[in-house]
Amino acid sequence: MARDFQRSSRVAEQLQRELADIIRSGVHDPRVGMVTITEVVVTRDLESAKVYFTVMGPQDRALQAMQALNHAAGFIRSQLGPRMRLRLVPQLNFIYDTSVARGAYLSHLIDEAVASPEPSGDTPE
């Protein structure tokens, strides 16, 4: 019977859980703040991983958090080593995930469009 998931997707799921725990408890940089790991994408050869995250607050906080996380990537990798059963821990590249902010903005636009009054004037029927 064939496997339902590739190994890289199973590793990505485990990385996401472990990264969330390490960032919450091990990274003490005040620029990081409240970070949520939204997705981890690992290459097939498990050499590198793109870690997508969001933060609560304005856009400049997200950029500061991204710089702090990329600066702490070596420390985070060293903490991942004992937790993961991998021969090689992937290189981590932290990327700010704009999808949550974009979704909130689109939802706000839809709410405004629904709440706006009907346009006045003659409308053909």
Domain boundaries, the chain: 7-110
Instruction: Among 3.30.300.130, 3.80.30.20, 3.40.50.2000, 3.30.300.20, name the CATH number for the domain at 7-110.
Output: 3.30.300.20
| pLDDT given for residue 1 in this prediction | 43
**How far apart are the C-alpha atoms of 88 and 77, rounded to whole Å?**
10
Half-sphere exposure of 69 (CA within 13 A, CB side): 29
| pLDDT given for residue 85 in this prediction | 83
pTM score, whole prediction: 0.79
**How far apart are the C-alpha atoms of 39 and 33, rounded to whole Å?**
18
Half-sphere exposure of 16 (CA within 13 A, CB side): 16
Mean pLDDT (the chain, rounded): 86
Query: Which residue type sits at 21?
Result: D
User: Confidence class of residue 122 from pLDDT cuts 50, 70 and 90?
Assistant: low
User: Confidence class of residue 23 from pLDDT cuts 50, 70 and 90?
Assistant: very high
